[in-house]
Structure 1
Amino acid sequence: MDEIEQRHLQSIAVPEVDVELGEVRVKDCNYIGSYNWLKQDSPTILVPGSPPQWQNRAVPYTIPPDTGVYFSDQNGYRMPKYVLLPLIMAVNKCAEIAKKTPFDWSSADIVTDRNGLRKLMRWVGGEDVRDFRLDLQLAGEHTVLVNRWEKRNREVFNGRTFGFSFEKASTVPAPGCKESTGHHRIVTYDLNGLKMVVRFEVDACIPPPAKYPRKSISSIDELTSTMNAIHLSQSTRPSQYLTVLEGGTEVSQTAVVELVTRSQMNMQMNGFNWKEAYPQLFFSQTAHHFLAVHQRGRFQEIKKTKLSSDELQSVADDAQVDLKRVRQVLALIKDIVVMHGKKGRLSLICQGGELKVYSRRNEESCLPESALKLFEL
């Protein structure tokens, strides 16, 4: 935090629930973009890309543990200066491909990763509160850009978990996405009067009953040979920061799957923590949750739950108090960022359960000027 001013601008307390707010619900949730990161020397995304396809393997099956280096925040690793730029370029490119009206960026209140919303949810809930930092900047007249910030964007795994190996063993790359290193999806929705744009990583999707149409690019050789042939319009540039290639196939919101693994011993001792897991589904409106239970890597049960299921109704009801608090905090954050104007460079920092707003010495923008202009009315 060397670039943060030592004096904080203000503290934010966990708010008392506003009884007039009513039930916090997601309304008018729409997919607006997606992309896959590709194994390239320079930052390159495939738009719309596709998530890995769930294979529905019969249990039991045994897989090796996670070992090696995995991304905790691939966007931050590949685009540390402009973390939100792939989101914006993918949305613009998807509209161009579909020949739809471009997304109106000036209409958005908050542009964020789902991860930031989950951090705020833990903080207002007061349980398992972890230290975190979110960088904030104003775009246009009223849009708050929330940039994820992590100490490390990659983590080393030493054989104690099975989540990444389970994903690999239980899915196959979608056609045209073999060189993918991760799929991200962007949705927009109304959260009780706040227009949200939310990006999140997708583990898998339920494949369509019919084969994909042959629109996608099947190999890295084809990607390389077609890079010059693919038209990159001004709406998807600046290309000096990020290359955008067209490939993959758009996936329905109803087919998106979150994969989770737990050991049998953990489940017997602790059960499954839906208070922690539910906001992940809620803030991205992920339709399916697959919980895979194993004993030392031998997976014997996969419990499938839908976000819309009756089973989660009590979980959803219990989450309302904290969701109301998050909604109130988001409105407060927006007011603070708007008040500090376009030159403001703010950071929201939680340490020891205390949430404070700081100004940053670094005056660099979180987006290039060409992208910021999209938010002007």
Structure 2
Amino acid sequence: MYRRQKYEEFQRNPRWRRSKPAAASPVPPFGPLVETISVADLSKSALGLESSARVTDCQLVASYNWLDRTTPSIIVPGAPPRWTPLAEPRQLSEDDGIYYRDKNAARYPAHPMEPAIKAVLKGHPEPSPRPVDVVACGSTIGNLLRFIRGDEKPFRMLLEVVGNAVHLIRRENSPKETMSDVRGYGHKFPEAYTTWDHEVRGSASHQRVIQYDFGGLHCIVRHEGDGYLKHKQDPSTNQPSPAFVEKLSVDSLIEDLNVKEMTPKSPQDSHQQIQLKSGGFDVSQSAVFDLKTRSVKRKGTDFLGEEIPRLWIAQIPNFILAYHDRGTFKDIEVMDVAQEVKAWETSKNRELSKLAALLHHLVRLARARRDDRLEIGRQQLDKLEIRRQCSGLAPAFSSEVNEEWSIWLASNVQYGPSADDEDGLQWSDGDGDYTACSESCSYCGKCTY
């Protein structure tokens, strides 16, 4: 009870949140403590990872679009919306409606990571040629990086081993936690300045799955793609699959009728299987952009610097920063920021080596306790808590997908710790205003217009 009260106080603390959460969901109970980790504990092992604490060999693995339907439905590979700026700026209305903190969990609360895995299995059914160490998303990696950097934000995530890969799965108090007091133009602007191509008409969001090496670990990371720049896209990939073309005439008519409704559909509470369709086209990572809107009154603030950590995690090389004057956008910057992201990575080597050390320890711990499903929580600024999950939580994947995914995650890495796994760390054993935010920052409450 004490810990739950402290966690609720922690979330209400104005130093940690600038606005109240929407219809505050009750805090789920905490399981038994296994370990605590501090940033200082990571210093020694981080020294040996400084040379490898950088992203290399980044590749797109899969992508998918959520369709705007009440039943969980995705298109694979889908495609992000295309950047189509207005010829003349017009005043936009402010954001309104329902906005979920975690779009994947809201649409498929039973297994939020499962759509990404189904997209991978659909696009690349052959087993992985390399052992996978970490499967995560931009939110979970971002939260661990914020912990390393001392940024003030509490969080929880689930830790589970499938195959031999350690999965970091985002956890909110409720899968359908929403934002309140939504103002600004972070949602209305992309509705006006981007367009879903006809191959993916009826989409609600675009999700991407990339893989890269970082700190000696092979990682698979899911992230959202705000859109793509057509002039950076390979024209040869902009072709729908033949099977989709045959169905397009009928399906697009149905979807057009659905899309023309004024408000997006709210996903229903159900345990229905995900409906998966083929459609869309591959968009290279070099064409994808991240988008932020800000008030022109705050021009001069280093907004790019604030966003670079997220761009680095998702390896997004393009950034659009749109300034508005009471809803009219006359100042829009479309930037190639690949060099800035790379320079940030070099300058933050010490922090990133600690992130690598933390990931290594989590991988070792989870594999050693693979029969335990664990949870990571941050209730204090300088401590991470590793706990056993409370009973009643669903596994990461349905039994069918879990079996297929375990086979795909082909690995010759032996389970459990080895003599080479010692990292020299000493762990305590306790056994016994979201207005300017988006999903990509986990609605941190710190973004400003």
TM-score bracket for the superposition, by shorter chain length? 0.7 to 0.9
Give the drift of 1:158: 4.3
Do residues 8 (structure 1) and 33 (structure 2) align? yes
Report the counterpart of residue 150 of structure 2 in structure 1.
126
1:146 Cα deviation after fit = 1.0
Aligned counterparts of 2:200 and 2:99: Cα–Cα separation in 1: 18
1:275 Cα deviation from its structure 2 partner: 4.6
Indicate whether 1:117 and 2:137 are aligned.
no
Q: Is the 8 A contact 1:67 1:156 kept in 2?
A: no
Alpha-carbon offset, residue 321 of structure 1: 2.4
Change (3 A) 1:149 1:340: same
For the Cα contact (< 8 Å) 1:43–1:79, is it kept in 2?
Answer: yes
Match of 2:79 among 39, 50, 66: 50
Q: Which runs of 5+ in 1 are unaligned?
A: 97-101, 226-238
Whether the aligned pair in 2 keeps the contact of 1:51 and 1:202 (CA below 8 Å) is: yes
Q: How does 1:201-212 map to 2 (within 5 A)?
A: 201-207=224-230, 208=233, 212=238
Q: Judging changes above 3 Å, is the alpha-carbon distance between structure 1 residues 106 and 88 closer, same or farther for their aligned structure 2 residues?
A: farther
Q: How many residues align?
A: 352
Q: 1:200 aligns with which of 210, 213, 223?
A: 223
Contact 1:59 1:299 in 2 (8 A): no
* CA displacement 1:200-234 (0-9 Å, x = unmatched): 01111112485943545657745979xxxxxxxxx
> Deviation digits for residues 66-115 of structure 1, max 9, x if unmatched?
1111232111112212111111100111125xxxxx24187211111111
Q: Offset at 1:59? A: 6.2
> Which string of whole-angstrom CA distances, capped at 9 and with x for unpartnered residues, describes residues 148-205 of structure 1?
1112545345452111111111101122222111110000111121010000011111
Cα distance in structure 2, aligned partners of 1:126 and 1:266: 25
Aligned to 2:406: 375
Shift of 1:287: 1.7
Aligned to 1:361: 390
Q: Which residue of 1 aligns with 2:376?
A: 348
What's the Cα RMSD here? 2.6
1:306 is displaced (CA, Å) by 2.1
What are the within-5 Å matches in structure 2 for residues 4-83 of structure 1?
4-5=30-31, 7-14=32-39, 15-16=42-43, 18-23=46-51, 24-58=53-87, 60-83=89-112
Question: After the TM superposition, which of the residue ranges 111-120 and 17-26 deviates more from structure 2?
Answer: 17-26
Contact 2:50 2:350 in 1 (8 A): no
- Aligned counterpart, 2:435: none
1:161 pairs with 2:184: yes
Whole-angstrom distance in 2 between the partners of 1:252 and 1:133: 32
Hey, what's the Cα distance between the residues in 1 that align with 2:88 and 2:234? 22
Structure 1 residues 72, 301: closer, same or farther in 2, change over 3 A? same
Matches within 5 A, 1:326-337: 326-337=355-366
Q: Give the superposition deviation at 1:61.
A: 3.8
Indicate conservation of the 8 Å contact 1:289/1:305, yes or no: yes
Q: Which residue of 1 aligns with 2:276?
A: 244
Percent identical pairs in the alignment equals 27
Q: Normalized per residue, which structure has more strand? A: 1
Q: Is the 8 A contact 2:76 2:278 kept in 1?
A: yes
Contact 1:105 1:375 in 2 (8 A): no
Q: Which secondary structure does the structure 2 equivalent of 1:155 belong to? A: coil
- Counterpart pick for 1:148 among 144, 162, 170: 170
Kindly provide the amino acid, as one letter, of the partner of residue 287 in structure 1. Answer: P
Using the size of structure 1 for normalisation, the TM-score is 0.85
- Counting only pairs closer than 5 Å after superposition, residues 168-179 of structure 1 correspond to structure 2 as 168-179=191-202
1:298 and 1:224, CA in 2 relative to 1: closer, same or farther beyond 3 A? closer
Amino acid at match of 1:171: T
**2:128 corresponds to which letter in structure 1?**
D
Indicate conservation of the 8 Å contact 1:124/1:322, yes or no.
Answer: yes
- 1:271-282 aligned at under 5 Å gives the runs 271-282=301-312
Give, as a single letter, the amino acid of the residue that structure 2 aligns with 1:359: R
